[in-house]
Amino acid sequence: MIKPHGSVELMPKIVSTEEEKIALLDAARSMKKMKVNSAAAANLVMLGAGYFTPLHGFMDKKDVISVANKMQLDNGLFWPTPVVNLTNQELDFEEGESVALIDPNVEGQQIIAIQKISKIEKLSASEIDNIVDKVYGTKDQSHPGVKTFYEQGDLLISGSVNVINYSYFEKDFGETFRTAMQIRSSIEAKGWKNVVAFQTRNPMHRAHEELCRMAGERVNADGILIHMLLGKLKPGDIPADVRDTAIRTMVDHYFPKDYVMITGYGFDMLYAGPREALLHAVFRQNCGCSYLIVGRDHAGVGDFYGAFDAQIIFDNIPEDSLEIKIFKADHTAYSKKLNKVVMMRDVEDHTKDDFVILSGTKVREMLSKGESLPKEFARPEVAEVLMKHYMEE
């Protein structure tokens, strides 16, 4: 199986035993507390679950600026986006202390992790502007990821962490949330050697379904990992539980048994386009996947990125940055000529009128009105799940 990123084995930061967890929570009674923001809590979940291997915790200023400018840590390891604990709170602790971090997404002041504070550093306005511009490609705060980053604050609190739990993800998504360790173990148990990963924050329509099928066939995959984001999204995106039901419905009806593994991970969407596509590749390498499907406007939002910028960026990083390979997907659409979903680059004899193409906006508009989606766009069983959600809103 493919090695984890920058390591021979996964390096999850979750406490490994119940005894260790009890001891840490007992020690936390005398520690100072800090409620982190949702982005930092999501980073803790990813650190705990092994997806951020080989990181030990939150980055300091030197690493953050190096990642922003050069897509590598100060030690030279490839890494595409900052992993930070930023705040605008008044702090009552100092460097060298251990602090109990409170989960903002769970009631009852639940401790999600213990952080050993290595540095407390202030980012200047110009440093934050540079980080945002390099990572997101814009400083426009109508971009949801940019807005979130600016709102987190300018105090950077770095240091190693011991993660105590996976926030709300195990409870709310028990059938779907999986750690990188669990996914690797499942792949090994199935005997799969060559696995294709598909990232999604949306329900899967026929084009997505066929894209997974095409990629699997073309790289001779043993199986497909459908890996859905379960964390915070922007307003208007379809909730994770609805997406989960829609995806399971599609797989149950239209894929061979035991060919697809449906899982999810606890991270808040960055909408960082090309940089986030690289981060998605790191996640899937850490899961043990050989390929990641990167399609049109991968991890994008609005018109901030070119349709295939997220593919191009992989051609512009050093060859040894990642071991996972990319399956580059073109626009996919239903061909009325061939009566099937195709990648548009594969059918040069087609004109625009030969395809059935619906925008996400048009789809949401139809669903909110209770209108059926065309069978060429969405499987009827999937459309029914989505329509039920929209009619109940």
What would the pLDDT profile of 176-206 be if each residue is shown by its tens digit?
Answer: 999 999 999 999 999 999 999 999 988 888 8
The reported pLDDT for the residue numbered 72 is: 98
Prior bond of 54 cis (ω within 30°): yes
202 in catalytic set = yes
Which residues face 155 on adjacent strands? Answer: 87, 122
Residue with the two structure tokens 């984001």:
229
Which carries the bigger pLDDT value, residue 111 or residue 335?
111
Is the pLDDT score of 53 beyond 80? yes
Q: Structural domains in the chain?
A: 18-167 (3.10.400.10), 174-265+271-392 (3.40.50.620)
Band of pLDDT at residue 50, cut at 50, 70 and 90: very high
Residue of 184, 201, 243, 284 marked active site: 201
Segment 300-310 shows an average pLDDT of 93
Band of pLDDT at residue 393, cut at 50, 70 and 90: low
The reported pLDDT for the residue numbered 147 is: 97
Please state the pTM of the whole predicted model: 0.94
H runs (alpha helix) in 144-239:
144-151, 169-172, 180-190, 206-218
DSSP 22-79: HHHHHHHTTSEEEEPPHHHHHHHHHHHTTTTTT--EE--HHHHHHHHHHSB-TTS-B-
- What would the pLDDT profile of 23-32 be if each residue is shown by its tens digit? 999 999 999 9
- What would the pLDDT profile of 137-148 be if each residue is shown by its tens digit? 999 999 999 999
178 in catalytic set = no
Is the pLDDT score of 359 beyond 70? no
- Please provide the average confidence, as pLDDT, over all residues in the chain: 93
Residue of 202, 248, 296, 364 marked active site: 202
- What would the pLDDT profile of 332-345 be if each residue is shown by its tens digit? 778 888 888 888 88
